Amino acid sequence: MSRISFMSKLVNFFIKLNILLFSFSVFNIYATTKSSIDYKTLFESFVIPGHGVLTMNVPKIWNYNFTTTGIDQPPIITFYNLDKDKEEIYQLNLSVLWEDGFQRNILSPEYIYSLVEKTGRQALNGSDESELILKKIIGQNGSGYWFNLSDSSAGPGEYQFLTQGALAVGELLLIFSLFSNDNESILQEAALKTIMSAEHHHRKDV
């Protein structure tokens, strides 16, 4: 379950596939907003070309890259931290989509559920788990779903744990993938808390 193979397959899957509805049972578990550690956060703003501004409360110790390639491609925000050897400890990737540019009704709970479940089933094939458990997440401007998977066979340079999902944020769809080698809940809780803080703001000059 390398970062490269996961991203190439799953991000393309999120953006390009026509999604079908499934009858998989969803666990209605709300993502926690209380972390085991009190991260100090900064209010960050990301201009989404042609679609206003996305804001989030981001842990102060996190680094990030923000990539935009035009109004027809989804911006990507990558959060990360490096260890003493300048190697990534984790990577949180956020892709920002909007309805007009990709597919209709992408913000509906049914679409988000089917999207996350479909990609989860694809990733399940290469994981340690035998069952996909979807959990519900409630944000400031909408709701979504997410799941956890692991791969104990991950080799050097690969990530063992994946947390992935999608959340409606106003008129945007935020797709997130957290890759790490840490099974502790602190990083995951911080990532989910950051995602849940996201808000979409309209601006006439953007």
Identify the pLDDT of residue 38.
Answer: 60
Does the pLDDT at position 8 exceed 50?
no
Mention every residue, 6+ apart, whose C-beta is less than 8 A from residue 157.
2
What pLDDT, on a 0 to 100 scale, did the predictor assign at position 1?
53
| Cβ 118 vs Cβ 23: under 8 Å | no
- Of the two residues 8 and 124, the one the predictor is more confident about is 124
The predicted-structure confidence for 72-106, as pLDDT tens digits, reads as follows: 788 999 999 998 888 889 999 999 999 865 567 89
Q: Which residues pair with 175 in a beta bridge?
A: 95, 166
Domains in the chain: how many in total? Answer: 1
C-alpha span between 14 and 115 (Å, rounded): 7
Looking at the predicted structure, is the pLDDT value of residue 28 above 80?
no
- Which stretches of 57-163 are DSSP H helices? 99-102, 109-124
- CA distance linking residue 105 with residue 103, whole number of Å: 7
Domain that holds residue 65: 3-201
pLDDT on residue 35: 40
Q: Does residue 39 belong to any structural domain of this protein?
A: yes
Is 206 a member of any domain?
no
CATH (domain of 119): 3.40.1000.10
Q: Which helix (H) or strand (E) holds 6?
A: helix 3-16
Q: How far apart are the first and last CA of the chain?
A: 38
Q: What is the pLDDT of residue 34?
A: 39
Does residue 125 fall inside a structural domain? yes
What's residue 204's pLDDT? 63
**Closest-CA residue to 198 (of 160, 162, 159, 171):** 171
Q: Is residue 74 in a domain?
A: yes
Residue 75 counted as domain residue: yes
The dihedral of CA 14, 194, 59, 164: what is its sign? Answer: negative
Q: Are 56 and 141 in contact (CB under 8 A)?
A: no
The predicted model scores a pTM of 0.80
Q: Is the pLDDT of residue 5 over 60?
A: no
Contact criterion met (CB below 8 Å) for 151 and 67? no
Domain presence at residue 108: yes
Which amino acid, 24?
Answer: F
